[in-house]
Structure 1
Amino acid sequence: MAAFTASPTPMVLTDPRLADNPIVWANDAFLALTGYSWEDLDGRNCRMLQGADTDPRAVRRLREAVRVGRPIEIELVNYRKDGTSFWNGMTVAPVRDATGRIVHFYSAQADMTGKYRHEVAMRDANDELERRVAEQTADLRAALEQKTALLHEVDHRVKNNLQVISSLMLLKARRTPRGEVRDALQGMAERVGALSTVHRMLYSTGDVTRFDLREFAEDFVSELVAGIDNERTAVSAEIDSIAVSAAMAAPLALMLHELATNAVRHAFPDSRAGRITITAQRSDEGLRMLIQDDGIGLAGGKPNPAGFGRSLVEMVVRQLRGVIVWSDVAPGTRVEITVPLDAVSLRTGTERAPEAEWTTR
């Protein structure tokens, strides 16, 4: 009893053998916590500490535990003698005699008000943080929508401008006598057209940062097949749906256009029949492209000092930090290209102009 009396932990004993289970002992720490004197507490039930903000559900749980003689740990709002409230964290346990009969209920208590104030402050801070995050998210979403709309508009205008340039080149080519100049104009118009297709697709998709290579390839191959004799030259394509960055869209489109159109034009001279296959798949190294034909091969091509198709392709592959392998496969030509899918940062600085090619391939 001396140890309990001197303990800094508030403690109280009640006697369930007496009417209304009254308080029969309390230590000085309990008196200090509640502000009551012993004369105020002696013979009264602990419910005297309850008030308007005391949770009735917690009170029912406490009463039920006392009724059946079960220990309980609970926190509820109590009131001091001066009317101020505090959160009381208590452990209530029955005390039994040698026969097992409950002779007292013992309760150790603690002022949990600081803990609850901290929880309320944390909850308020969390609510405020969530509100600010929601506001900033809304602002970022609005900014992203504006940026997306701007990029769509840019792609749309670039596409229109490229179409105009391509049309002007084609018009000039038609009015130019047959020869190298006319062929050069025709080739440049087609390259510009390929770039225009890229911007059209970027403009038409919801995500302006990504480009579906298969969608472009299907569109390009359809246009390519429409302009050739299908009975003499067969073109097939097997392109995986690979999303690449918008920065890679134009270089990849230009590379695919250059290799495929060169194969159509130069692999099968003198009305020779043949087949061209185009594949693009995702690999461990990134994007693997393969363009192959069963034509006359690299060695069979006629010298063309004005041609620069091969140099153009190799320059694009370098820009994409890729690797290209040209092979004579007897019959035909095989071009295998591997580029990393994260090649979004193209080289900056001045690129050396492609040198004149001595083969049309």
Structure 2
Amino acid sequence: MLVDAFARSPSPMVITDARAPDNPIAWANDAFLQATGYAADEIVGRNCRMLQGPATDRATVDRIRNAVRAAEPISVELLNYRKDGTAFWNAMTITPVSDAEGVAFFYAAQADMTHVHQMEVTMRGTNDQLERLVSARTHDLSAALEQKTALLHEVDHRVKNNLQVISSLMLLKARRTPEGEARDALQSMAERIGALSTAHRMLYSEGDITHFNLGDFAAEFLADMNAGLDPDHLRVEADVEPIAVAAAMAAPLALLIHELTANALRHAFPDAREGRVSIVARRNEGGMHLTIRDDGVGLAATPPNPAGFGRNLVEMVVRQMRGTVAWSDAGPGTTVEIDIPLQPAA
């Protein structure tokens, strides 16, 4: 009954005689004959190596040979060849069968795995094609991004140049305007435009067009501001973290810092009073905290200026950035505390 079950099995099966010279095939079922294309009388008495061919992996053959010599079971996949020369992948499990005298037979159950290997080849081809498509698409996107970056850099460069021209024209006009409110207004507007020009200059020089480094801007701004001051009389100091903010916030922040610093220098130190203005910026959980502080005469001692709009400008810019601003007397001087929400750091 067992032999009849093996003979009728749809899985190829073969038994070799371990005690005969060269371990020849002693029996094979019909499924094995159909899989290999041989008749029973063509294989009985021959070693299974007859199914090997030019592309059969020699290392796998050596593994089978060593397992047979050691009478140990083994499972492998091996490229075999049918009678007509066509190749197929043969998954086999070889098991020694022993009796009282030792190993008598080797029993091999087999399965044609050619379709699995063909599928793997197809999948590799598909994966290779997908990788080529992804690589080509990535190259196109990178080229488009480089083009966009170059364009934005060029825009920032041209805006910076135009702002510098406008600032220079306003300064020239201010020099030719008699002293008074009109001259002061022209001078102030030229300085504000200069601050915006500095922001665009930094955006043009940055590799990352999407962010603006507030710490680098503060260093540039500090150098420009102190260049026009008597260091023994007035000075501006900055302690600003290298906070990366969105590029869209560059101009509002530049205008905000300039306006508060310039107003402090202009109004907090009358009658040649000596003093200091400090700029401090820290990142916090909600975004950024900015403090502009001076040790001047304070808000209460500053005469009202009906023609001025510095404070209104500051509050308008802060609202634009969805922030809050608080003014207070520092005793001595004035402190301006500003909180601005920022996107989470990358």
TM-score, normalization by structure 2: 0.95
Matched residue, 2:270:
269
Cα distance in 2 for partners of 1:323, 1:67 equals: 85
1:100-133 CA-to-partner distances (Å, cap 9, x unmatched) read: x111111111110110011001101111111111
Cα distance in 1 for partners of 2:324, 2:92 equals: 74
Q: Quote how far apart the aligned CAs of 1:82 are.
A: 2.2
SS in 2 for 1:241: coil
Q: Quote how far apart the aligned CAs of 1:58 are.
A: 1.6
SS in 2 for 1:314: helix
Matched residue, 1:178:
179
1:281-329 CA-to-partner distances (Å, cap 9, x unmatched) read: 1111111111111212222211111111111111111111112121222
Matched residue, 1:357:
none
Matched residue, 1:4:
6
Q: Quote how far apart the aligned CAs of 1:63 are.
A: 1.3
Unaligned runs of 5+ in 2: none
Cα distance in 1 for partners of 2:222, 2:306 equals: 28
Q: Quote how far apart the aligned CAs of 1:158 are.
A: 0.8
Cα distance in 2 for partners of 1:275, 1:207 equals: 34
1:263 aligned partner, one-letter code: A
Cα distance in 1 for partners of 2:85, 2:332 equals: 101
1:164-193 CA-to-partner distances (Å, cap 9, x unmatched) read: 000000000011111111111101000100
2:49 aligned partner, one-letter code: R
Matched residue, 2:88:
86
1:232-291 CA-to-partner distances (Å, cap 9, x unmatched) read: 223211011112121111111111111111111111112222221111111111111111
1:131-163 CA-to-partner distances (Å, cap 9, x unmatched) read: 111111111111111111111111111111000
Cα distance in 2 for partners of 1:278, 1:212 equals: 15
* Mapping for residues 255-294 of structure 1, pairs under 5 Å: 255-294=256-295
Cα distance in 2 for partners of 1:223, 1:188 equals: 16
Cα distance in 2 for partners of 1:213, 1:76 equals: 66
* Mapping for residues 76-155 of structure 1, pairs under 5 Å: 76-98=78-100, 101-155=102-156
Cα distance in 2 for partners of 1:309, 1:73 equals: 85
Bigger shift: residues 303-312 or 182-191: 303-312
1:2-59 CA-to-partner distances (Å, cap 9, x unmatched) read: 2222222211111121011011111222122212221121111111111122122221
Matched residue, 2:38:
36
Q: Quote how far apart the aligned CAs of 1:342 are.
A: 2.3
Matched residue, 2:239:
238
> Is residue 56 of structure 2 the alignment partner of residue 54 of structure 1?
yes
SS in 1 for 2:288: strand
Cα distance in 1 for partners of 2:336, 2:72 equals: 83
Unaligned runs of 5+ in 1: 344-361
Cα distance in 2 for partners of 1:254, 1:97 equals: 97
Matched residue, 1:70:
72
C-alpha spacing 1:90/1:264, structure 2 compared with 1 (3 Å) = same
CA RMSD of superposed structures (Å): 1.4
1:70-91 CA-to-partner distances (Å, cap 9, x unmatched) read: 2211111111222221111111
The runs of 4+ residues in structure 1 deviating greater than 6 Å are none
1:161 aligned partner, one-letter code: N
Cα distance in 2 for partners of 1:96, 1:180 equals: 114
> Is residue 27 of structure 2 the alignment partner of residue 25 of structure 1?
yes
The percent of aligned pairs where both chains have the same amino acid is: 64
Matched residue, 2:189:
188
> Is residue 15 of structure 2 the alignment partner of residue 13 of structure 1?
yes
2:225 aligned partner, one-letter code: L
> Is residue 319 of structure 2 the alignment partner of residue 313 of structure 1?
no
1:260 aligned partner, one-letter code: T
Cα distance in 2 for partners of 1:134, 1:167 equals: 49
TM-score, normalization by structure 1: 0.91
